[in-house]
Amino acid sequence: MKALCWYGKEDVRIEQVPDPEILNPGDAIVKITRTAICGSDLHLYDGYIPTMKEGDILGHEFMGEVVDVGSNVKRTKVGDRIVIPFTISCGRCWFCEHGLWSQCDNTNPNAWMVEKLAGFSPGAYFGYSHLYGGYAGGQAEYARVPQADHGPIKVPDELTDDQVLFLSDIFPTGYQAAERADIQPGHVVAVWGCGPVGQFAIRSAFLLGAERVIAIDRFPKRLELARQGGAETIDYSKTDDLVDTLKDMTGGRGPDSCIDAVGMEAHGTSMLAKLDRAEQTMKLEFSRATALRDVIHACRKGGTVSVIGVYAGWIDRFPFGQLFTKGLTLRAGQCDVQRYMEPLLQYIVSGKIDPTVIISHRLPLEQAPHGYEIFRDKQDDCTKVVLTPS
Amino acid sequence: MTTASIPRTREAPRPPTPSRARAQATINVGAVERWASLIGGAALALYGVSKRSRGGLLLATAGTVLVNRGATGHCPVYQRMGVDTARGRESRFGLPGIHPVAIEHAVTIGRPREELYDFWHHLENLPRVMTHLRSVTPLGDGRSHWVAQSPLGGTVEWDAVITDDRPNERIAWKSADNSEIANTGWVRFTPAPGNRGTEVKVHLVYDAPAGKPGAMLAKLTGESADQQVREDLRHFKQVMETGEIPTTKGQPHGPEA
């Protein structure tokens, strides 16, 4: 089959590789009908995630038709049309049973590796480095889906692939960010980053009762999409002081809830942002925490900060004193996708959310390397690339 | 159970119950000399490996042979020459200055302890979760024969005796008196708070290839006994909770550039 393989920084290629096979009794094989490039794939593309190996198949947002199942798979059947969560989870450990699917104890074959680095291991993800399991991803014609009975959901025939594909990651991810922001009726919510996850966070914040949402980015197309979702917008590159601007827009209080949908590769215009960029380039710090600092500075006293952008390792100049003195609540974490797929599917069925609005490019799988380039560089107003295997 | 990490190589499997006479005959190097072989050999091996050259490889090989000599107390050259410096060997745990290595790890498994005890009690199940074990064969009367993969290639074998067996609570064992690899251990099953299943704790003490140099050598060969126990417990949990051990072996991969 054809698959998109990683070969290094800014080097991804379509290669001919063997078809996947059932390796464990809980596995299924899907013939992929639609897949996408995620913003977090760009961290791999830019070479910021360690333990990648040449030839690794990328991709963790995908769906398709089940063509084979292992001997222990009972619920998922050959012929089912399923969306696969990017988190691989067993559904039977304490964490899965308590909704913390992304922290699954039983699915990462390389748990020891993360434990050596961090002292603990989360679950595993498709196509996202050997630290997180080393599983082959879904930017391919076929994929092996471990734990096929514990996560993937069947989707109704009347919905198109483009409508349901984002249940695999970015819709639940954006929704979780909003859910963890503790939004109450009358709240003003600020969202940093108007990429795909930010767009879903904006829309989810309204679903959860926000009165106003203020969205922050610098790319006009993304800000326009945010406005279409009902948000007011700030182009931070055109403000002198983002935190001041937010205060001015909220009667001097600051937003009640602040969502960081940017993560470790933040851009920014301040001196600190430039220092972060230099330090990250020199490998002195893992993550550029420009957005995270702003979020803490801007949030109103006693408010909630919800971090969904991906961070890794250690961060310098983290304003913990501010966080403490303002009495902020800080929530963070990778998305527990399985927990949200069914309820969010209902929002799509009922028409309350149309996930397709964020798609800017539909390309054949063969053009995935081009997709990575334009998505990373935001060329051609690129907001989201979906890929179709031929 | 984790004695596989002990770098005691054998070319061929031996009969299940080794005779005491044979076990004694294999040790012909005295304690002080064994220590010297271990430390010197490990240093030589590490230095050799660090050179990353053909010469380094030779040094590393020589170092490994020395470590093995220290670890096992057996020197084939002495044997051929008819030399024995081991005179009056005592306890297998009793090499002067050697502290046996103790390992202890715990894991919480979301299953009732009766089930976990039952799995463990049937020792022949253990190779399912302990990937370095080739086989465990019950011999009756609480005795069993263990065959494990050696990190240096080949296999290691020993006999074990159950010394304590409290249903659903604890199993303790020690290597048989005539075993070349001295080890003792226990596994304990206690209910976890908040209906979380069972806390499983494993405690293991082993001798030879004594202490730190042995651990150094184990690292060198990519196997650390400590890590092995962690992985064994993790696999035990995975099999009991999900019925499978996660793997990516055999999945597709792009050609290497």
Which 3 state secondary structure label does DSSP give B49? helix
Contact at 8 Å (CB) between A83 and A167?
yes
The whole-angstrom distance between residue A29's C-alpha and the CA centroid of its chain comes to 23
Predicted-complex ipTM score? 0.91
Taking only the tens place, the pLDDT of each residue in B73-95 is 666 666 665 555 554 444 444 44
Q: Is the dihedral of CA A76, A78, A79, A83 positive or negative?
A: positive
Q: Tell whether B110 lies on the interface with A, counting CB pairs under 8 A.
A: yes
Strand partners, A11: A8
Interface probe with A: pick from B128, B242, B247, B256, most Cβ of A within 10 Å: B242
Interface probe with A: pick from B115, B198, B238, B251, most Cβ of A within 10 Å: B251
Detail the DSSP E strand segments found in A45-113. 56-57, 61-69, 81-84, 87-88
**What is the pLDDT at residue A134?**
97
Query: Does residue B110 have a pLDDT over 50?
Result: yes
Q: Tell whether B131 lies on the interface with A, counting CB pairs under 8 A.
A: no
**What is the pLDDT at residue B68?**
67
Query: What are φ and ψ of residue A9, in 5° steps?
Result: -60, 125
Asked if the Cβ–Cβ distance from B249 to A7 is below 8 Å, we say no
- Residue A47: CB atoms within 10 A of its CB come to 13
Distance from CA of B230 to the nearest CA of A (A): 8
The model carries a pTM of 0.82
Query: Does residue B190 have a pLDDT over 90?
Result: yes
Taking only the tens place, the pLDDT of each residue in B145-167 is 999 887 667 888 889 999 999 99
B31's enclosing H/E stretch is helix B31-51
Higher local confidence (pLDDT), A276 or B168: B168
- Which of A338-347, B5-14, B57-66, B153-162 is most confident? A338-347
Residue A345 CB partners (closer than 8 Å, separation 6+): A153, A155, A164, A167
**What is the pLDDT at residue B48?**
64
Asked if the Cβ–Cβ distance from A93 to B256 is below 8 Å, we say no
**What is the pLDDT at residue A314?**
80
Of all residues in chain A, the one with the smallest CA distance to B196 is: A94
Residue A47 CB partners (closer than 8 Å, separation 6+): A8, A9, A10
Alpha helices, H only, chain A: 41-45, 94-97, 111-118, 161-164, 170-179, 196-207, 220-228, 242-249, 271-281, 290-298, 320-325, 337-349, 368-376
Asked if the Cβ–Cβ distance from B257 to A7 is below 8 Å, we say yes
- Residue B134: CB atoms within 10 A of its CB come to 15
- Residue A71: CB atoms within 10 A of its CB come to 10
**What is the pLDDT at residue B150?**
75
**What is the pLDDT at residue B157?**
87
Low-confidence ranges of chain A (pLDDT < 50): none
Q: Tell whether B255 lies on the interface with A, counting CB pairs under 8 A.
A: yes
Taking only the tens place, the pLDDT of each residue in B216-243 is 555 554 457 788 899 999 999 999 999 9
B242's enclosing H/E stretch is helix B225-242
Surface of A (101-160) touching B: CB under 8 A = 105-109, 111-112, 115, 124, 133-136, 140, 144, 146-147
**What is the pLDDT at residue B96?**
45
Q: Tell me the C-alpha to C-alpha distance, in Å, between residue B61 and each of B9, B43, B49, B68, B219.
A: 14, 12, 9, 11, 15
